[in-house]
């Protein structure tokens, strides 16, 4: 003999909720998202060393932070470097003309492969370098865009107001003749 019983809707609902609770309670919590990398901690020391070399003239320190194929572009009188050796030569020439060079990082922003550095340069043009010595001091602000790969600086693009720097040194602009040649 088969016996049928009436279902109690409230008991079924409680049972279903209990099963649902047990299933969800036994699941592992969702993993926390991975923390984003601290790019400043990774790239900042490279930039600190690089800026330190501008200030000290200890060019051998560049080997640890710059790739051998490092490339630099700049619109000013200091020029461009197509590898690390050229960069060292360019920096030596610049520091010969500006022996008291001081570069200060005003602000730095880093991403995975790039950095943007806002800086201020100050110094006195007392030596023979890319420009003849004027004995005058200059101070300019600029911006540098850097690329990083394999734990080194691989590329630099520098921008600053060249006219302002030359004006502080006493150079003047001569307007072109108003009549074409």
Please give the structure tokens belonging to residue 14: 């409680």
Q: Say if residues 168 and 138 touch (Cβ distance below 8 Å).
A: yes
Q: Is residue 6 part of a domain?
A: no
- Strands, sheet with 152-160, edge to edge from the N-terminal-most edge strand: 66-73, 152-160, 137-149, 114-124, 102-110
In 3-state terms, what secondary structure has residue 19?
helix
Q: Is residue 160 part of a domain?
A: yes
Mean pLDDT of successive 10-residue stretches along the chain, which has 181 residues: 61 66 66 86 97 96 96 79 95 93 98 98 91 93 97 96 90 82 58
Domain count, the chain: 1
Q: Residue 134 is part of which domain span?
A: 39-168
pLDDT of residue 33: 81
Q: Is residue 19 part of a domain?
A: no
Q: Is residue 93 part of a domain?
A: yes
Query: What is the CATH number for 161?
Result: 3.10.450.50
Q: Is residue 178 part of a domain?
A: no
Q: Say if residues 87 and 53 touch (Cβ distance below 8 Å).
A: no
pLDDT of residue 101: 96
Q: What is the pLDDT of residues 67-101, one digit of tens each?
A: 999 999 987 656 789 999 999 999 999 999 999 99
Average pLDDT of every residue of the chain:
88
Please give the structure tokens belonging to residue 151: 């734990």
The C-alpha atoms of residue 22 and residue 64 are separated, in whole angstroms, by 57
Measured N-to-C along each axis, helices 84-97 and 39-56 cross at an angle, to the nearest 10 degrees, of: 50
Q: Which of 159, 155, 141, 174 is nearest to 78 (CA)?
A: 159
pLDDT of residue 23: 62
Q: Is residue 146 part of a domain?
A: yes
pTM: 0.77
């Amino acid at each position: 003999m088969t016996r049928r019983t009436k279902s109690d809707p409230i008991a079924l609902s409680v049972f279903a909720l209990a099963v649902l609770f047990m299933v969800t309670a036994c699941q592992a919590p969702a993993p926390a998202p991975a923390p984003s990398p601290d790019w400043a901690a990774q790239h900042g020391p490279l930039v600190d060393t690089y800026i330190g070399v501008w200030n000290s003239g200890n060019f051998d320190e560049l080997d640890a932070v710059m790739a051998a194929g490092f490339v630099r572009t700049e619109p000013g009188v200091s020029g461009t470097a197509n590898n690390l050796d050229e960069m060292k030569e360019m920096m030596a020439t610049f520091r010969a003309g500006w022996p008291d060079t001081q570069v200060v990082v005003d602000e730095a922003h880093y991403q995975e492969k790039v950095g943007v550095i806002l800086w201020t340069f100050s110094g006195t043009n007392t030596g023979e370098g890319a420009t003849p010595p004027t004995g005058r001091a200059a101070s300019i602000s600029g911006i540098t865009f850097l690329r990083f790969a394999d734990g080194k600086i691989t590329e630099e693009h520098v921008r600053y107001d060249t006219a302002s720097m030359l004006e502080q040194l006493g150079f003047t602009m001569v307007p072109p003749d108003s009549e074409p040649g």
